[in-house]
Amino acid sequence: MSTTAGAFIAGGIAACGAVTATHPFETVKIRMQLQGELQTKGHQPHHYRGPLHGVSVIVRNEGIRGIYRGIGCAYIYQVLLNGCRLGFYEPMRAGLAKLILNDAAKQNLGINMFCGAASGIMGAAAGSPFFLVKTRLQSFSPFLPVGTQHRYRNALDGLSQIFRAEGVRGLYRGVGAAMIRTGFGSSVQLPTYFFAKRRLQKHLGMEEGAPLHLASSTASGFVVCVVMHPPDTIMSRLYNQNGNLYKGVFDCLAKTIKTEGFFAIYKGVFPHLARILPHTILTLSLAEQTNKLMKKLEERILSPPETQSI
């Protein structure tokens, strides 16, 4: 790994590359999570029926701009989230391993999961206002609206409107759900990635390179989606609500299951899978490459010049 600052930058750059490719599925996922909100079965609209259908409906009615609503906020959020997640994970893991196991290089699943969750929670807290506005921008549709509709001209307008109406507290509405969601996902993302990577190297003899990174990222992405989707649905609803429809995470969970049934918390899981798999693959694979570039850059900048013999 490069230094913490270098890994933060490398992680942020990698995540921005990934989100550019996967943002359309994120838009569909959010709209599917919100459609039929707190409506009983049989009375729920089905404007968006899956990842490909959702993309086609949005592009047909709103154009490319519609499918990429909130992309600016997504970039800022990804820099903060994955910068923290990829930048702080390894220093925390090495520090705890040295403290508890007396060996910074030794791997331990419990330590790995704790550091993954902690680094993700820090990133989620830092980026929560941008994810809030991103969710509201993506849910807005002049043609097939779902959930509460918020009319923001752009990200800055959204942030300013929320701040004027609700203050700083409004900007951090739903941050608890965001931290739970990201803690769940982060606790398994990097540990699963490195676990799969070690197993593939050990048992299949795979060497460092794109095929190994691709296979490890695929395994990690699938596990992340399964673990993270229920709190992701709750977070989308808390972020998008107007007023105090939900009092908190558990109130939202209880109302959703009571009104719509248990599987309502898995609404939008297929668009989520369609997003998270390529997103995880691209983020972690690109992070390997950007981290190497940052390490070379740091070595060039930080290494003392060689003394020349006279």
In tens digits, the chain (310 residues) has pLDDT values of: 556 677 677 777 777 888 998 999 999 999 999 999 988 877 788 899 999 999 999 999 999 999 999 999 999 998 888 778 777 888 899 999 999 999 988 888 889 889 888 988 999 999 999 999 999 999 999 999 998 999 999 999 999 999 999 999 999 999 999 999 988 887 887 788 889 999 999 999 898 888 898 888 888 888 989 899 999 999 999 999 887 889 999 999 999 999 999 999 999 999 999 998 888 777 767 777 777 777 787 777 766 655 444 4
Q: Are 103 and 97 in contact (CB under 8 A)?
A: yes
Eight-class DSSP state of 230:
H
Q: Are 92 and 138 in contact (CB under 8 A)?
A: no
Which residue, among 130, 121, 140, 125, has the nearest Cα to 242 in the 3D structure? 140
In angstroms, rounded to a whole number, what is the distance separating the alpha carbons of residues 123 and 299? 27
Query: What's CA 209's distance to the chain center, in Å?
Result: 24
Please give the backbone phi and psi of residue 151, each rounded to the nearest 5 degrees, phi first: -95, 95
68-83 per-residue burial string, b: 16 or more CB within 10 A, e: under 16: bbbbbbbbbbbbbbbb
Which residue, among 220, 233, 11, has the nearest Cα to 127 in the 3D structure? 11
Q: Which residues contact 36 (CB under 8 A, 6 or more apart)?
A: 43, 44, 45, 46, 146, 260, 264, 267
Residues in the chain: 310
